[in-house]
Structure 1
Amino acid sequence: MEVDYIIVGQGISGSFLSWYLIQAGKKVMVIDQPQPYTASKVASGVINPVTGRRIVSTWMIETLMPFALDAYTNMGETLGANLISQANILDFHPTPQMKLAFEERLPVENKYLRYPDNATAYEQYFNYYFGIGEINPCYLIDVNLLLDNWRKALKTQNALLEETFDINKLVIANSSPLNTHHSPLTTYNLRLTTKKLIFCDGAAGFNNPYFSLLPYAKNKGEAIITEIKDLPRNNIYKQGINIVPWKDNLWWIGSTYEWDFKDLNPTPAFRAKVEQQLSQWLKLPYTIVDHIASERPANLERRPFVGFHPKHPNIGILNGMGTKGCSLAPYFAKQLADNLVNGTPLLPQADVQRFSKVLSR
C-alpha cells in the first residue's frame, strides 16, 4: 500500500498534521498504539498568553493564539465537537510581593492582564488575602475529546494503524534533495510505502535514532484529578497550582515540572503538596479520583522541532512542543503541511535544519 505520508504518533501534533494533510487531499497513514497516559492525554489543555513569575508574553502568542482559536474551532465543527472554549485565569496572589509584580506588569501587558470585575464573588469558594488578577483571554482545549474524535475519523478513512511503530522495520531509500518531484520512497513493515515519514512521537523522540541528538530536555509532569462540586467551571483558578476544568465534570490540578526523576510514576509528595494547598485555599469539599503523570517532549531551546533530517530528507519531525503544545502544535502542523504540499518555507526559529551539523554526525 502506498500513501503520500506516514505520521508516527497521534498526539496533538500528529492529529493536526494528519488533519491538514487530509484536508489538502493527501493520502495519510497514522501509526499509533493507544496508551492511557501520554503528554497530550494528560495535558491541562490551557492556552495562556503570559508565562513565568515575570508575567511576560509567551513567544509568538499574538500569532499563535488567534491561529489556535480558528484551528480548534474549524476541527471541532467538522468533528461535531466543541473543542475550545474561553476560560480566563483568575490569579489569586499568594503574597504581597506577587500582587506587586502583577500590578507592575499590568501597564506593560495590558492586552492580557486586568482585574476581574467581581473579585469578591469568589470569597465563597476560596480563601485569599492579597487580591486577584485576571489573564484574559485564555483558552481551554478539550484535548481528550479532540484525540478520541479524530482517531475515530482516521479509522473511518482507513488511515490509522493501531500498533507500536517498529523502527527496525523501516527501510529508507537513497536520499534526494528535499521537496523534489522524485522523492525516494520509504518502506515500513513491507506493508506501507511513502514519500515522507514524519515523527510526531512526543517523548518517544528522545530515543529516536534519527533525531535523538536534538537538545531534548526530559520533563515529567504530574496532575491530580478531582471532583469539586459547586465550583464554577467558566474559569481556571491559580495560586501556586492550577485548578482547571477537565473532562466528565472533573477538575485537573497541577502541574509539576520535574527535570530530575527516576520513573514516571505518580509521587506521594506531589499529592501531599496538592492536598496541603487545597486545605488552605479551597473552601469547598473535594474528592481525589485519580493521580496521573507523564513525560513531556520539552527541549532546551523552548522552540519546536519542525522539518526534515539533513541526511535523510524523506524523514521528518514535528515535536518538542513542551508545555505549550496546545498553542504551538496547530500552527506548526500547518507550517509543515504547507511545506510538504506547496513547498512554502518553515519558520527558521523552528526549522530543525538549525541543528543540521549536529544531526549530520
Structure 2
Amino acid sequence: MEVDYLIVGQGIAGTMLSYYLLQQGSTVIVIDQYNPFSASQIASGVINPITGRRFVRTWMIETLMPFAAFTYKCLEKELNISILQQAQLLDFHTTPQMHLAFSNRLPNETEYLSIPDDTNQWNSYFNYPFGVGEIHPVWLVNLQRLLQTWRNKLRELQVLIEANFHAHNLQLFSNGIQYEQVSAKAIIFCNGTQAADLPYFQKLPFASNKGEALLLNIPELPRQNIYKKGISLVPWQDDLWWAGSSYEWSYENTLPTEVFRQKTLQQLQQWLQLPFKIKAHVAAERPATLERRPFAGMHPYYPHIGIFNGLGTKGCSLAPFFAKAFSEHLKNGQPLLPEVSIHRFHKILRP
C-alpha cells in the first residue's frame, strides 16, 4: 500500500494531523494500538486561557483558543457529534495570597478574569473562605468522544492499522520509507512519550511527567462550570467528574498511586460539601517538553521522518492550530513557527 504519510499514534496530535492531511487531499495511514490509559484518553479536555499562580495568559492563547473552538465545531458538523462546551472556571482561592494575586491581576486582565456578581452562591456546594474568581470563556472538549469517533472514521476509510509500532520494521530510502506493507513519502511520529525512545528524537528536550486523576460521581453538583481549588473538578464523560491532576517528575511507573488517591480525597473532603463516590483512578505519562513548546517538523538530517509531539497538558488548544500549520508546511512549504519547529534543535539532532 502506498500513501503520502504514515502517522504513528492517534491521540489528539495524530487525530488532528490526520484530519488536516486528509482534508487537504493527502493520503494517510494511521497506526495505533488503542490504549484506554493514554495521556489523551484520560485528559480533562480543558482549554483555559489563564495559567499559573500569577494568573497570566497562556502562550498564544489569543490565536490558539478561537482557532481550536472553530476546528472542534467543524469536527462536530463533519462527524455529527457534540464535543465542545463553553464553560466558566470558578477559581476558589486556596490562600489569602492567591485571593490578592487574583485581585491585583484583575484590572489588567478584564477579557478573561472577573469576580462573580454573587460570590456566596456556591456556599452549599463548597467551602471557600478566601473567596472566588471567575475565568471565562473556558472551553471543554470531550476528547474521548472525539478520538473514538475519529477512529471509527479512519476504520471506515480503511486507513487505520490497529497495532503497535515496531521501530525495527522501519526502512528508510532516498525517496521515502517502508514499514511492513506500507510505503510512504514520510513517517510522522505523534505517539507521545514513545517518540522520546526513538533514535531520531532521543536528544530532543522532552520533559515527560506523570499525571493522575480520580473519576467521581457527584450527582448534585451543577455541570455547567469547572471548579478549581488546588485541584480541578471538570465535567467529564458519562456524567462523571474528573478530579485532578498531579504533576510528578519522578516516578517508577505510570500506574495510579495510593499517595495521590489519599491526598486528593483529603482535599475533596475539605473543599466539597456534597456526597461523592470514586468510580475510577487513572494515570498516564504526558509528553511535555522543557521549553513548554511543541515539537513539529521534519528531521533536519532524515527528511522522511517527522514529529508532531510534546503537547503536554495543553493538547486541546495546541493540536488544532499546529496540526494545520504542519499540514500546510508539508503541502506547500509554509514555514513553521521557529518556537515549534524542530529545526531549532538541528545541532543536537546531528547524527
TM-score, with length taken from structure 1: 0.96
Distance 2:213 2:182 in 1: 38
Distance 1:196 1:356 in 2: 19
Q: How many Å apart are 1:109 and its aligned residue?
A: 1.6
Tell whether 2:26 aligns with 1:26.
yes
Distance 2:44 2:118 in 1: 25
SS class of match (1:152): helix
Deviations 1:34-82 (A, max 9, x none): 1120010010100010111111111000000000000111011111111
Distance 2:349 2:82 in 1: 40
Tell whether 2:206 aligns with 1:212.
no
Distance 1:81 1:342 in 2: 31
Matches within 5 A, 1:280-319: 280-319=270-309
Q: How many Å apart are 1:218 and its aligned residue?
A: 1.9
Tell whether 2:336 aligns with 1:333.
no
Distance 1:169 1:163 in 2: 13
Distance 1:58 1:347 in 2: 17
Equivalent position of 1:5 in the other structure: 5
Distance 2:29 2:242 in 1: 32
Equivalent position of 2:252 in the other structure: 262
Letter in 2 for 1:138: V
**Gaps (5+ residues) in structure 1?**
175-183
Single out whichever of 123-132 and 300-309 deviates more from structure 2.
123-132
SS class of match (1:290): strand
Identical positions, percent? 54
Distance 1:286 1:342 in 2: 53
Distance 2:118 2:322 in 1: 38
Deviations 1:77-110 (A, max 9, x none): 1111111111211001121111000000111222
SS class of match (1:217): coil
> How well do the aligned residues superpose, as a CA RMSD in angstroms?
0.8
Letter in 1 for 2:287: P
Distance 1:26 1:310 in 2: 22
From 332, 335, 342, the equivalent of 1:345 is 335
Equivalent position of 1:70 in the other structure: 70
Structure 1 moving runs of 4+ over 3 Å: none
Matches within 5 A, 1:164-179: 164-174=164-174
Single out whichever of 112-121 and 221-230 deviates more from structure 2.
112-121
Matches within 5 A, 1:68-147: 68-147=68-147
Distance 1:118 1:21 in 2: 47
Q: How many Å apart are 1:333 and its aligned residue?
A: 0.4
Equivalent position of 1:180 in the other structure: none
Deviations 1:206-244 (A, max 9, x none): 211111110001200000000001100011000000000
From 208, 212, 216, the equivalent of 1:222 is 212
Equivalent position of 1:193 in the other structure: 183
SS class of match (1:357): coil
SS class of match (1:211): coil
Equivalent position of 1:181 in the other structure: none
SS class of match (1:243): strand
SS class of match (1:300): coil
Equivalent position of 1:177 in the other structure: none
**Gaps (5+ residues) in structure 2?**
none
Distance 2:74 2:345 in 1: 34
**Matched positions, count:** 351
Q: How many Å apart are 1:118 and its aligned residue?
A: 3.3
Distance 2:197 2:340 in 1: 20
